[in-house]
Structure 1
Amino acid sequence: MEAALGVFFICCMSVLSPFSGVDDGELRGCPPSPNCVSSQSMKYNFIHKVDPISYSTSREIAFKRISDYFHHSENIYISEEKEGEYIRIIFFTKVFRFPDRVEIYFPTDKNEAQVRSQSIIGLWDIFANRRRVNAFREILTKEDS
């Protein structure tokens, strides 16, 4: 019983971690485990590195696209949203409901989105976070029809 409670509290602390958000214009870094990718923090660590997502539209349109995607998707909980600037969500896998934390930050000085995606449970994510970031890249770079 004590072990189950311990696992529960560790999971809750991971989901509600203070190690997320934007600090001095940057997303926080990834842990050393290979279950996280980031376009901004730990820039020279090839295990965690992904490119930021460049877009050709205005920042407001890009934010609206990704926000609409999150609001209309299944298995997603939006934990924080600052209009036009930052969004943090929790993805839940379909079968086992494992949580993954995703953050997208839209700096004011560039037409690019900084992204961080981390599996909260498990040591390795089987490249799920990289695939997720590539899906966001397609959403933000699509041309208006």
Structure 2
Amino acid sequence: MQQSGFSVERSIAFLLGIVLLCWTGAVAPAMAQPLLPLHPIPLATLEMAMSKPLFSFSGKRPTNLGVTDGKLADCPGTPNCVNSQAPDTDVQHKIAPLSYTKSPTEAMTALKGVIQGMKRTQIIREDENYLYVEFTSALMGYVDDVEFLVDPSAKVIHVRSASRLGQSDLGVNRKRIEEIRAKFVQKNV
């Protein structure tokens, strides 16, 4: 959307730059007047602009995802991955699966509802007992690959969440799975 020759994104970037300059003391707030008049931006437009990352460090989609012999892929040696099927001795990557009490179909429906209610998600693949979702970070556009696999005999949904790029994720993948778990439990599945 264009306004007076400036895009919404450029207007937001300009305002963020002024805020940063004021915050660091590089410019006094009185000097932080825009050179060109700014027009009011509707809230819905701001929300839409902020829903997309400013950068895109998405990397390439991994080729080792999916289910092999009833298991999700192992985590790499980096700390930016969690997996409920990791050995108990692998405390860096181990996380509990999601438990459910109703049918596997009801559990997957509830899980899909939780995921669709989260921001910057895209369901890539959905089967009866498997769900693969990409989560994109707000600022830098990093993509995490998250998989869910129903184990009907144990009444659990195994999870694997891994960053595509980098070494550390500052605990983001573990926090995301715990957030999903909390919302999933609220659905009384």
Measured against the shorter chain, the TM-score band is 0.7 to 0.9
Contact 2:114 2:180 in 1 (8 A): no
Instruction: Select which of 71, 83, 99 maps to 2:116.
Output: 71
Q: Which has the higher strand share?
A: 1
Contact 1:28 1:41 in 2 (8 A): no
Q: Output aligned runs, 1:94-113, within 5 Å.
A: 94-113=138-157
Q: CA deviation at 1:137?
A: 1.2
Tell me the residue number matched to 1:27. Answer: 72
Q: Structure 2 unaligned segments of length 5 or more: list them.
A: 1-55
Which 10-residue stretch deviates more, 52-61 or 29-38?
52-61
Deviation string for 1:62-117 (max 9, x for gaps)? 1101112223433111111003x010011000111110000010012121110000
| Equivalent position to 1:90, from 117, 123, 134 | 134
- Give the 5 Å matches for 1:94-133: 94-133=138-177
SS of 1:110's partner is coil
User: Which residue among 100, 103, 106 is the counterpart of 1:61?
Assistant: 106
- Partners in 2 of 1:76 and 1:127 — Cα distance? 18
How far apart are 1:43 and its partner, in Å?
4.1
SS at match of 2:112: helix
Name the aligned partner's letter for residue 111 of structure 1.
K
Report sequence identity in percent: 29
Shift of 1:40: 0.4
SS of the aligned residue for 1:63 comes to helix
Q: Which moved more, 1:127-136 or 1:36-45?
A: 36-45
Count of residues in correspondence between the two structures: 132
Q: Is the 8 A contact 2:114 2:184 kept in 1?
A: no
> 1:57, CA displacement in angstroms?
2.3
CA distance 1:22–1:41, shift in 2 (3 Å)? farther
Q: Which has the larger radius of gyration?
A: 2
Moved more, 53-62 or 105-114: 53-62
Separation in structure 1 between the aligned mates of residue 187 and residue 146 of structure 2, nearest angstrom: 24
Equivalent residue number for residue 11 of structure 1: 59
In structure 2, do the counterparts of structure 1 residues 82 and 59 end up closer, same or farther at CA, with 3 Å as the change threshold? same
Cα RMSD (Å): 1.9
Distance 1:141 1:69 in 2: 10
Q: Does the CA contact (< 8 Å) of 1:34 and 1:123 recur in 2? A: yes
Q: Which runs of 4+ in 1 moved over 6 A?
A: none
**Equivalent position amino acid for 2:156 in 1:** E
